[in-house]
Amino acid sequence: MKLLQVELSDKLEALMAALVQEGWFRSADEVIQVALIEFLRRRRFDLLEKQQREDIAWALRQKGTSP
């Protein structure tokens, strides 16, 4: 497992601490992990589409330069 160090604003840290204190999460680490997983899940298709568009554009440029 990889260890990361994260800087948070006081407000964000307080919100995260409240979620842990209210029992929604076991720890601040879990809050950050779940938030990152959810962010990546939501953005996954956007990122895949962007990569595909870049690949297609590259292929079209290559096709235009072939003899």
Q: What is the pLDDT of residues 7-38, one digit of tens each?
A: 999 999 999 999 999 999 999 999 999 999 99
Do the Cβ atoms of 6 and 32 come closer than 8 Å?
A: yes
CA torsion 34-39-45-51 (nearest 10°) is -120
CA 15 from chain center: how many Å?
A: 20
Look up residue 41 and give its amino acid.
R
Query: What pTM did the predictor assign?
Result: 0.64
pLDDT greater than 80 at residue 67: no
Q: Look at residues 40, 35, 33 and name the one whose alpha carbon lies nearest to residue 4.
A: 33
Left if phi > 0, otherwise alpha if psi is -120 to 50, otherwise beta: which for 35? Answer: alpha
What is the average pLDDT value for the chain, to the nearest integer? Answer: 91
